[in-house]
Structure 1
């Protein structure tokens, strides 16, 4: 059914359906997605044409330091190394680790990430953080893609599910030595110049053979921003929880 203007209450009454029985598609985060989700509890599908460019930036090798995903992985690795510097310290510690080199590297990587999108920047990210638009999309849109035509790549019976996401307290891992192999391959050149942060804290030995071998591995950029497990051509890029916090399966388009 294609409805233009009118009352959402009337549409529900005419169809004899309500709430999750309707998948509402739109291209306006406030007028289409946010209001329909809050007022009627409809399932929502946000069309974001700019997503095609975002995916292109993530996969192409146009950035000076490699692909966009490689920069993101390097930034995540830097965060892990930064955390390791403080893992043996508490409120009674007088030692202050030297994090100046890591901070400079974080700033440099963040700047390179921004430059990958050109002068106008990214619609979804500001540096390593999500924009307000991206936060609203993740909260209110059950599905989003560059075009509704992407539904053609899925059977009508397909079950869309949100990828499992850990909360901050759930993502805590056992404190242990983090070598370059565990942190990723993107930091290999930086580690060669500055050494492992663990040496500044406890003077632990050299990097493992696993880290050296990992320098020759290339990161895989396939499937970036496509958390579903579908036919590869599709770019339906996300599925969120409804307003009640429950995961939901989307009906056929």
Structure 2
């Protein structure tokens, strides 16, 4: 608190993004677990110098709640006190009013005080487990998750496009070779059972030709594996050398964190000031939701069996958020 400039990285656009929302008729609340003295010091440092017309950070927020005790704030009903002096003296109260500063309380009190509920509220938080998921599960509030690491991950993904394209090409090659190998293996299996050995890849081969072809394909797959393995291991190192990407597990799958974000966050971004790039009246719509069979149905008229077999289609899920 004595030297906030050593620990806080102010975002000049953050107060302006909130000011746009406020002037558009939205009610802006600050709900923090920090006490009043710490909150006041940090907000003065981060907000006041960027606000116009001698506004202070308190002028930006309709209601300020400190010592909120999240996540209990969303689940339980705690007493609420109004902070009435700069020294932090408080008195009990049961309903918040515009312009007030309060300590404790609950999310239910917020809904009652503003006479709004559920999807009329957008809760913006930076922790998927302690606030975003809780406000969604217990109150059905709309939710926005702030994840600063997204900026670095997005940059890393752009830098790794060439490497990932080469890796995907090798994996697709291995799938085609593997499919041929499996067809020969099936033909050999059928012959051992004295059944017709006809498959797409094995038409008139005798047993020796089948065996030799399978051995050659195995060698090709082993050589592809020798190229793929180190590339898979290196994938994501541009973001984090030890853990790889934040939002991905392996090449195709989403990480557990990403699945939690998709489940509980209606929208997510790297910082609140990103909303400044849109009007405060923006209606965010979800992306088209794709299913596993969509990729084949969209492309089967243009691809042969081998190509269609190796197609992959992944799309990050979005959701809807309104005013």
TM-score normalized with structure 1 length: 0.61
User: Is the counterpart of residue 32 in structure 1 residue 128 in structure 2?
Assistant: no
Superposition RMSD in Å? 3.0
Q: Greater CA radius of gyration, 1 or 2?
A: 2
Q: State the secondary structure of the residue aligned to 2:123.
A: strand
Rounded to whole Å, the distance in 1 between the matches of 2:165 and 2:322 is 31
- For residue 177 of structure 2, the aligned residue among 66, 73, 85 is 85
CA contact (8 A) 1:48 1:144 kept: yes
User: Is the counterpart of residue 125 in structure 1 residue 217 in structure 2?
Assistant: no
What is the correspondence of 1:178-193 to structure 2 with a 5 Å cutoff? none
User: Is the counterpart of residue 115 in structure 1 residue 207 in structure 2?
Assistant: no
- For residue 176 of structure 1, the aligned residue among 299, 304, 318 is 304
Q: Which residue of 1 aligns with 2:110?
A: 11
Q: State the secondary structure of the residue aligned to 1:133.
A: helix
Once the two structures are TM-superposed, the CA of residue 74 in structure 1 deviates from its matched residue by 3.0
Change (3 A) 1:113 1:58: same
Residue deviations 1:209-250, cap 9 Å, x none?
xxxxxxxxxxxxxxxxxx9xxxxxxxxxx8734xxxxxx233
Residue deviations 1:66-86, cap 9 Å, x none?
x31222333333343333335
| Higher-strand-fraction structure | 2
Rounded to whole Å, the distance in 1 between the matches of 2:265 and 2:275 is 16
Rounded to whole Å, the distance in 1 between the matches of 2:231 and 2:282 is 39
Q: State the secondary structure of the residue aligned to 1:171.
A: helix
**Stretch of structure 1 that moved more, 76-85 or 135-144:** 76-85
4+ aligned runs moved over 4 Å, structure 1 = 86-91
Change (3 A) 1:124 1:77: same
CA contact (8 A) 2:267 2:321 kept: no
CA contact (8 A) 2:289 2:317 kept: no
Q: Which residue of 1 aligns with 2:162?
A: 70
Q: State the secondary structure of the residue aligned to 1:44.
A: strand
Once the two structures are TM-superposed, the CA of residue 154 in structure 1 deviates from its matched residue by 0.2
Q: Which has the higher contact order (CA 8 A, sep 6+)?
A: 1
- For residue 270 of structure 2, the aligned residue among 118, 123, 146 is 146
CA contact (8 A) 1:44 1:143 kept: yes
TM-score normalized with structure 2 length: 0.49
Q: State the secondary structure of the residue aligned to 2:143.
A: strand
Gaps of 5+ in 1: 60-66, 184-226, 228-237, 242-247
Gaps of 5+ in 2: 1-27, 32-67, 69-104, 189-209
What is the correspondence of 1:148-163 to structure 2 with a 5 Å cutoff? 148-163=272-287
Residue deviations 1:155-210, cap 9 Å, x none?
1222212222321122225351667xx98xxxxxxxxxxxxxxxxxxxxxxxxxxx
Q: Which residue of 2 aligns with 1:51?
A: 150
| Higher-helix-fraction structure | 2
